[in-house]
Amino acid sequence: MKRYKLLLNGTWQDSENHLLVVDPASEKPFAEVAVVDRPEVKKAIEDSDAAFRAWRSLTAKERGDYLREIAAQLDRRADEMAEIIVRENGKPLAQAKGEVAMSIDHLLWFAEEGRRAYGRVVPHQAQGKRHMVMKQPVGVVGAIAPWNFPLVLAVRKVAPALVAGCTVLLKPASATPLSACLLAECIDAAGLPAGVFQLVIGSAPEIGAEMLENPLCRKISFTGSTSVGRSLIEGAAQTCTGLSLELGGNAPVIVFEDADFEQALDGVMITKFRNNGQSCIASNRIYIQRSVFDKYQEALCSRIKELTVGPGLTDRVDVGALIDRKALDTALAFIEDATAGGAQVLTGGVRSGETGSFLTPTLLTEIPPGAKCSQEEIFAPVAALYVFDTEEEVIERANDTEYGLAAYVFTSDLNRAFRVSEALEAGTIGVNDPVPSTSNCPFGGYKQSGWGRELGSEGIDAYLETKHISIAGIK
Ligand code: NAP
């Protein structure tokens, strides 16, 4: 079994205990990774702080050149990286390749964006004064990533933090540490100075507690569940550690009767089934206008039945294994809860095969009020259909959630597209667009979906302090 080490202060470190990495398609362990304990996390934060002084004094162009080199290393190992993502996460290979390509694009975007971390000169109000506003790196950053997009969601933090002049400790999810190990190899091969980027894997509560309580760690950037996000907020209340939070979602999709029918079908299939339904921006509630509901439901059902389920490395697989057995059981419980209240299962609804955490892609309809699948994140290939009558009604129902990460609208009426987009309470709106995320636009949530934004020109702000320098006595 291959063993992976951790990059700590410029050296590759092994440990006595190891974390086993399980392939969700076979449910068998296939690799092991070194782990750190809390004193080692403390040491890593101290090393990170020591490395910060020299790293921050480089020019943004020099740091951007390092990012370009990391992107080149990742590109060189793109196939290997995609395969590792599939083995640890279960998604289809083509989608893992897309994740690698997007990660490279993020690195290249932030390599340039670092040079645009502008301050400003502000007109003075008192004679003899001058005012400058400048942006400076916050310092040591703890980056905590989830398992659903194990590479790209880590890169979304690491790239802007590094280019801003911060040093970074990356903590990937325990289920998917290997893509982070390969990313660390790419970063090491790009020649970053010791301590600028480090990889820590181990007990999440211990690593999180050290990041929160160690005053040298100035910022935590977290992507994951709203419940863990809340616990970080509680911890940060004691230390005032800065937090950026990308949390859960419950995305509505609204298909109006004037939508291009085929486009709306293709779109919903992508929003729901991409990444095995385990995407924070996956559609959770699919609202179809009454006049097209029956036709749409029938067409969607046929499309779902055509999906091929299987191990992600197998040719032409559309839906792979869920991350683990618990995720499969949770999905089955959502289905059971809905059907107990009267929902109909039009296709799927059961486990697929006897090995691996595969779920047959599922279509639920006639969902009763109060069903859990309407209120909580399903995070599985389960499409839940709802009928609506008017624009006003559907906007109210779409916004009736504690989350606000993404929402989708399918319509061919431009006026309606603007009206509805402006009324929806979500950080990203896809109008006839099932894949709205891109390196150059901000991404993040309203309400309990998080604090702050990643990507775009906003994506670097999270890693910068704003300083005002006032000079008096100028004659
Ligand atoms: P999770 O259980 O919250 O875990 C996310 C990360 O936090 C993992 O690295 C985990 O480590 C770590 N963690 C767990 N407990 C911690 C603690 N007490 N202190 C510090 N770190 C801790 O979430 P998940 O199940 O991996 O991810 C799924 C969730 O993420 C969904 O709700 C999804 O919507 C959300 N998500 C949001 C976005 C977004 O951009 N808004 C993107 C993707 C996913 P271990 O794995 O070691 O426990």
CB atoms within 10 A of CB 344: 13
By the 8 A CB rule, do 269 and 277 touch?
no
pLDDT of residue 82: 98
Q: Is the minimum distance from the CB of 216 to ligand 1 under 6 angstroms? A: no
Burial of 469 (0-12, 13-18, 19+ CB in 10 A): exposed
Could you give the CA distance from residue 304 to residue 364 in angstroms, rounded to a whole number?
11
Give first-to-last CA distance, the chain, whole Å: 72
By the 8 A CB rule, do 266 and 370 touch?
no
- 297 to 223, 366, 371, 388: CA distances (angstroms): 34, 11, 19, 13
pLDDT of residue 468: 98
* pLDDT digit string (tens) for the chain, length 475 residues: 999 999 999 999 999 999 999 999 999 999 999 999 999 999 999 999 999 999 999 999 999 999 999 999 999 999 999 999 999 999 999 999 999 999 999 999 999 999 999 999 999 999 999 999 999 999 999 999 999 999 999 999 999 999 999 999 999 999 999 999 999 999 999 999 999 999 999 999 999 999 999 999 999 999 999 999 999 999 999 999 999 999 999 999 999 999 999 999 999 999 999 999 999 999 999 999 999 999 999 999 999 999 999 999 999 999 999 999 999 999 999 999 999 999 999 999 999 999 999 999 999 999 999 999 999 999 999 999 999 999 999 999 999 999 999 999 999 999 999 999 999 999 999 999 999 999 999 999 999 999 999 999 999 999 999 999 999 999 9
pLDDT of residue 153: 98
pLDDT of residue 370: 94
Residue nearest to atom 8 of ligand 1 (CA): 173
The yes-or-no answer on residue 280 being catalytic is: yes
With vertex at residue 276, the alpha carbon angle to CA 148 and CA 106, rounded to the nearest 5 degrees, is 45
CB atoms within 10 A of CB 396: 12
0.85 cut: is pTM over it? yes
Q: Is the minimum distance from the CB of 426 to ligand 1 under 6 angstroms? A: no
Residue nearest to atom 35 of ligand 1 (CA): 224
Residues 6+ apart with CB under 8 A from 471: 129, 130, 131, 132
Question: Rounded to the nearest whole angstrom, what is the distance from the C-alpha of residue 248 to the centroid of ligand 1?
Answer: 9
Could you give the CA distance from residue 71 to residue 108 in angstroms, rounded to a whole number?
7
Q: Is the minimum distance from the CB of 297 to ligand 1 under 6 angstroms? A: no
For residue 201, the ligand 1 atom closest to its alpha carbon is: 47
Residue nearest to atom 41 of ligand 1 (CA): 246
| Helix, coil or strand: residue 348 | coil
Question: Rounded to the nearest whole angstrom, what is the distance from the C-alpha of residue 145 to the centroid of ligand 1?
Answer: 6
Could you give the CA distance from residue 317 to residue 331 in angstroms, rounded to a whole number?
20
CB atoms within 10 A of CB 382: 26
